[in-house]
């Protein structure tokens, strides 16, 4: 959740709300009376309403709130089933602690590393190399990682930085073999962490007792990858999907968009 929440005073007017919308860019705010949450007011509540109207008169009084111990999945259910965009988080005294938005929920599911994904990868290693990998969970220094992906995208890095700051980032998947730690999944998360000055990340660690070089290591060598510094960061406009969309639009219109 976001801890630094912009609120509106229950004793104010709709003019105060409009000013906060203009200065923050937010489209709604929890309404508080002292420390207690008493309602919520959104931009749509201000349509055709005089600027001198008291906030209490137009705010939503029946507010859905969450307990700080609620899981992200449960918060997602509440947000999507109720159709709200923001879910205030309160304590037992109904005092505001933070807020979680539908964007927070969506980002919590991006690059979701499921146990199935990890075990499928382990099965692949078993099949290809006839070994029995050992899986454990631990903290990995990111400077020790051998990347296997040569490019990441600036817009996705912004999303991963957001996730790391919110504590929503998924663990990496790495392979340890003969003293080398190979990054399998989580290149954007790792580069984002490096930008934030974070030196280690949570990871699913697959230990492999194997003399032969892995295909991932050959991939890294072929691309001259030895550290995170070798990964190229591309801006949003150079994303391959953006290039395809650009060509499609240009082809349909007969000229550049």
pLDDT at 257: 43
Query: What are the per-10-residue average pLDDT scores of the chain (257 residues)?
Result: 90 96 90 92 93 95 87 81 85 91 69 72 87 93 94 84 83 91 93 95 93 88 93 70 44 44
Q: Helix, strand, or coil here: 90?
A: strand
**Partners of 234 in beta bridges:** 153
pLDDT at 7: 95
pLDDT at 118: 87
Domain 111-240: which CATH class? alpha beta
The answer to whether 41 and 29 are in contact (CB under 8 A) is yes
pLDDT at 230: 95
DSSP string, 198-234: --EEEEEEEE---SSPPHHHHHHHHTT--SGGGSEEE
Number of H helices and E strands in the chain, helices first, is: 9, 12
pLDDT at 240: 55
DSSP 168: -
What predicted TM-score, i.e. pTM, was given to this entire model? 0.55
The domain ranges of the chain are 8-108, 111-240
pLDDT at 184: 92
Domain 8-108: CATH architecture, name and number where available? Roll (3.10)
């Amino acid at each position: 959740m976001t801890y630094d929440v912009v609120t509106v005073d229950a004793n104010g007017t709709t003019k105060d709300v409009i000013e906060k919308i203009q200065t923050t860019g937010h489209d709604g705010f929890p309404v508080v009376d002292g420390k207690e949450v008493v309602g919520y007011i959104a931009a749509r509540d201000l349509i055709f309403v005089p600027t001198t109207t008291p906030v209490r008169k137009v705010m939503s009084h029946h507010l859905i709130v969450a307990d700080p111990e609620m899981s992200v999945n449960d918060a997602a259910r509440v947000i999507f089933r109720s159709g709200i965009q923001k879910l205030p988080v309160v304590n037992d005294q109904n005092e505001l602690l933070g807020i979680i938005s539908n964007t927070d929920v969506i980002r919590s599911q991006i690059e979701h590393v499921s146990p199935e994904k990890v075990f499928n990868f382990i099965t692949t290693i078993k099949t290809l190399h006839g070994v029995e990998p050992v899986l454990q969970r631990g903290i990995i220094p990111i400077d020790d990682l051998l990347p296997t992906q040569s490019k990441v995208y600036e817009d996705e890095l912004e999303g991963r930085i957001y996730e790391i700051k919110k504590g929503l980032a998924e663990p990496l998947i790495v392979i340890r073999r003969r003293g080398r730690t190979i990054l399998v999944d989580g290149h954007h998360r790792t580069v984002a962490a490096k930008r934030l000055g974070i030196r280690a990340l949570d990871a699913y660690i697959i230990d492999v007792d194997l003399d032969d070089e892995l295909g991932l290591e050959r991939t890294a060598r072929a691309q001259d990858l030895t550290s995170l510094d070798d990964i190229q960061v591309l801006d949003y406009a150079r994303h391959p999907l953006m290039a395809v969309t650009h060509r499609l639009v240009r082809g349909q219109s007969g000229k550049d968009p």
